[in-house]
Amino acid sequence: MSAGPLVRDALRALGIDQLLLGIHDAAFPSLPGEETGRGSPYTEGGGRLLALAAQLGFTGLQLGPQGATGEGNPSPYDGTLFSRNPLSLALAPLVEEGLLSPATLVEIAAGAAARGTDRADPRGAARAAARALAEVDAVRLRRGPGSPLGRRLAAFRAAAAEWLEPDALCAALQARHGEADWRRWREGSKDHPDQFLYAPPPGGEEEATCRRARRLAEEEGASARDAHGQHRHHQQHPAFVARTHPLGLVLYADLQVGISEVDAWSRRALFLPGYRMGAPPSRTNPEGQPWNYPVLDPEQLGTLESPGPSARFFRRRLAKAFAEFDGLRLDHPHGLVCPWVYRAGEPDPLAAVQGGARLFDSPDLPDHPGLARFAIARPEQLDRSRPRYDDAWVRDLDPEQEARYALLFDLLLAEARAAGRTLPLACEVLSTLPLPLARVLARHRLGRFRVSQKADLDRPEDVYRGENAAPEDWIMVGTHDTPPLRQVAERWTDSDRRRQADYLATRLIPEAAERDNWAARTAADLPSLVEAKLAELFAGPARHVIVYFTDLFGETESYNVPGTVSDANWSLRLPSDVEDHYRARLASRRAADLPRLLALACRARGAAFARTHPGLAERLDEAAGGPPQ
């Protein structure tokens, strides 16, 4: 019998509202006959992972960004904001619809198998997708525009023209120029006019309009082919949702803070010239990170009652996300409230980002005088004894200032209400929480992330410690950017293990007299220590838990190592036999045993909880195959 119902009963008893399985598209399993070299939620293998998540008791999935990524850069956080990644298109449904020959899929799957499927192969998957979509589009051409397929595609192109047309044209022009970076398109020694098709310089509007029309006509074949691929993709996603909800699972999207190069090209008029967004020095990234993302122009934001062009663009992103998903994870929400910006085009981007400033917190900085006109914080509200990236750089705000900082969050919550979405936002606030962002989160009763593997056991007030969480927070042992817990634990020395066990004893063992013996036993047994670290997620005040797939399956390889460029990043995958894989890992005590973890968490609540929920911990023990050691 599935443990899912019992696990969900235990979650409710513990006050846990959401237990999400975090996984990106590329990591999904595929069955051998549908393999392309990269995962997809929309495959039959993806459906099996859905079923497993429901059987284990998860309440939902947290996916990553799903936009199209450029060749050589598989990071989903650099993908397009509206177009979906063609590498996530499932091919077997195209065979069932008569759009792709079975022989083609057999050849693609055989090629993927020969290359190996334990890691995503984005280049091989891109070749497979291009081959399949060319064949699918040939069917469209044979059937003609008057066919049911042709009419459906025409309706889709008309409805999605605002993003579909420029995204497809950009891809065609990248191929024409032989250069993915549109800033390097050249005509002799000058910038090529194709750079300015959607954002012409003053006085060049008419010429750009005419040139854009010519380019669209010249690239109609490629645009129609891309549109057909997006059409199929946007049909597969609702089918996936239709499989998800009956299993009792919700879907969270990942609203990336970054703007793709494709979107920056077609919407460059919406962004602040001369500046880029990055991450300042912090505990998580001591040197900072020059992300090179465009920044929405503050002068085009407008107000909540009368949004300007940049805010309307943001709302269109939200409308699409809420139409397709139940909830949102906000990637680096600082970028919506108090983005850290630095000068573009500097010879040393890392030095530039280290000398940057917060866009709305810089009323009078001598090295960034151009930011003064955007300032919300006043000079007397700054603590200049602190670095300008410090959480307390802004000391206080009045209600009117708070509302100005909150504009994009207010628009976001208004869009959620309009779409009927009531799930809490998952706000990826890690080690830094500047006062303006803290005020905005409090304004909407939103929590932050608590990444327990990063907890500093020497600092009782540390933000990553589970006991410091608030009910609205989201807690997890790791994210897609951290090593899996098993990898971290295997590096702990004997002394580290004992310190972890001593701390976890205070979190999981109510009787003080039993803690020392429990800690000694747990420190001596690595699987028990890992289980305790995971169980702690459910023992504290936070009502929202995310378990990343690497921690569920007990992986020891990282999914992504931030700040590095490697073919290993963004490539780790689950195997096709995902259910058997989980059971095998469970038998060897590597996979997370949710009933066992929840039994520990229930006992951590003490005698009063046991009286209120009689026999719950014992039923969880039975579902786990025996009581914890």
Identify whether residues 310 and 182 lie together within a single domain: no
**Does the pLDDT of residue 189 top 90, yes or no?**
no
At residue 564 the predicted structure's pLDDT band, cuts being 50, 70 and 90, is: confident
Identify whether residues 19 and 141 lie together within a single domain: yes
Helix, strand or coil for residue 20?
strand
Burial of residue 600 (CB within 10 Å: 0-12, 13-18, 19+) is: buried
The last residue of one of the domains, among 191, 224, 253, is 253
Average pLDDT over residues 455-460: 96
**Does the pLDDT of residue 531 top 80, yes or no?**
yes
Residue 395, domain member (yes or no): yes
CA distance 305 to 323: 22
Strand order in the sheet with 327-330: 426-427, 327-330, 250-255, 60-62, 18-22, 544-548, 474-476, 449-451
**pLDDT, tens digit (0-9, with 9 covering 90-100), for 262-312:** 999 999 999 999 999 999 998 888 899 999 999 999 999 999 999 999 999
What predicted TM-score, i.e. pTM, was given to this entire model?
Answer: 0.96
Determine how β-strand 190-191 pairs with β-strand 449-451. Answer: unpaired
Cα angle: 609, vertex 610, 613; to 5 degrees:
85
At residue 1 the predicted structure's pLDDT band, cuts being 50, 70 and 90, is: very low
Identify whether residues 293 and 343 lie together within a single domain: yes
Residue 135, domain member (yes or no): yes
Q: Is residue 216 a contact partner of residue 389, using CB atoms and an 8 Å limit?
A: no
The last residue of one of the domains, among 253, 279, 313, is 253
At residue 103 the predicted structure's pLDDT band, cuts being 50, 70 and 90, is: very high
Identify whether residues 249 and 283 lie together within a single domain: no
pLDDT of residue 104: 98
**Does the pLDDT of residue 626 top 60, yes or no?**
no
pLDDT of residue 146: 96
The last residue of one of the domains, among 407, 433, 459, is 433
Identify whether residues 321 and 188 lie together within a single domain: no
At residue 625 the predicted structure's pLDDT band, cuts being 50, 70 and 90, is: low
Q: Which long-range contacts (CB under 8 A, 24 or more apart) does 386-392 make?
A: 387/281, 388/357, 388/358, 388/361, 388/362, 389/280, 389/281, 389/282, 389/340, 389/356, 389/358, 389/432, 391/432, 391/433, 391/434, 391/435, 391/438, 392/435
DSSP class of residue 67 equals B
Identify whether residues 116 and 157 lie together within a single domain: yes
- Which positions ≥6 away from 548 have C-beta within 8 Å? 21, 22, 23, 476, 477, 478, 479, 480, 484, 559
pLDDT of residue 566: 85
- Residue 248: give its domain's CATH number: 3.20.20.80
Residue 334, domain member (yes or no): yes
Residue 621, domain member (yes or no): no
Residue 114, domain member (yes or no): yes
Q: Name the one residue in this structure whose structure tokens are 């220590």.
A: 529
Residue 570, domain member (yes or no): no
Distance, first Cα to last Cα, the chain: 24
CA distance 584 to 600: 22
Cα–Cα distances in angstroms (integers) from residue 539 to residues 234, 309, 504, 518, 549, in the given order? 40, 45, 10, 17, 20
- Which positions ≥6 away from 258 have C-beta within 8 Å? 77, 78, 277, 291, 293, 331
**Does the pLDDT of residue 563 top 90, yes or no?**
no
Identify whether residues 131 and 236 lie together within a single domain: yes
Mean pLDDT for the chain overall: 96
Share of the chain above pLDDT 70, in %: 99
Identify whether residues 238 and 343 lie together within a single domain: no
Residue 259, domain member (yes or no): no
Helix, strand or coil for residue 289?
strand
User: Can you give 31-50 as a three-state secondary structure string?
Assistant: CHHHCCCCCCCCCHHHHHHH
Residue 452, domain member (yes or no): no
Identify whether residues 132 and 104 lie together within a single domain: yes
Identify whether residues 418 and 349 lie together within a single domain: yes
Q: State whether the Cα torsion 551-552-556-559 is positive or negative.
A: negative
**pLDDT, tens digit (0-9, with 9 covering 90-100), for 200-242:** 988 999 999 999 999 999 999 999 999 999 999 999 999 999 9
At residue 567 the predicted structure's pLDDT band, cuts being 50, 70 and 90, is: confident
Range of the domain at 159: 15-253
**Does the pLDDT of residue 627 top 50, yes or no?**
no
pLDDT of residue 439: 98
Burial of residue 309 (CB within 10 Å: 0-12, 13-18, 19+) is: middle
Average pLDDT over residues 540-565: 95
Picking from 124-133, 256-265, 620-629, which range would have the lowest pLDDT averaged per residue? 620-629
Identify whether residues 97 and 235 lie together within a single domain: yes
Number of domains in the chain: 2
pLDDT of residue 73: 87
Identify whether residues 222 and 284 lie together within a single domain: no
